[in-house]
Amino acid sequence: MAPPPGPYSGTSTLALVARVSAFSFGLVYGNIKLKIHRVNPSSVILILISEIVMQC
């Protein structure tokens, strides 16, 4: 007989709630981030410059 699934095995209710919560948090965080960048276009330029510098 197989043991019961662990809390983070992907088949338990807790794992499902954790995935949905993480997805929801990502959507909210992304929306807030987009709104901030739309209001302040200079911040977009600063982010692009910082990404270019980090790649070097």
- Give the model confidence (pLDDT) of 25-49 as tens digits: 988 888 888 887 676 667 767 777 8
For residue 6, is it within any domain? no
For residue 35, is it within any domain? yes
Of 9 and 27, the structure prediction assigns the larger pLDDT to 27
For residue 3, is it within any domain? no
For residue 46, is it within any domain? yes
Q: At what angle do helices 41-55 and 13-39 cross, to 10 degrees?
A: 110
For the chain, what is the mean pLDDT?
76
pLDDT beyond 80 at 11: no
For residue 2, is it within any domain? no
Q: What is the pLDDT of residue 21?
A: 92
For residue 4, is it within any domain? no
Asked if residues 55 and 47 have their Cβ atoms less than 8 Å apart, the reply is no
Of 9 and 36, the structure prediction assigns the larger pLDDT to 36
For residue 33, is it within any domain? yes
Write out the residue range of the structural domain in which residue 30 sits.
Answer: 13-55
The count of structural domains within the chain is 1
Of 38 and 14, the structure prediction assigns the larger pLDDT to 14
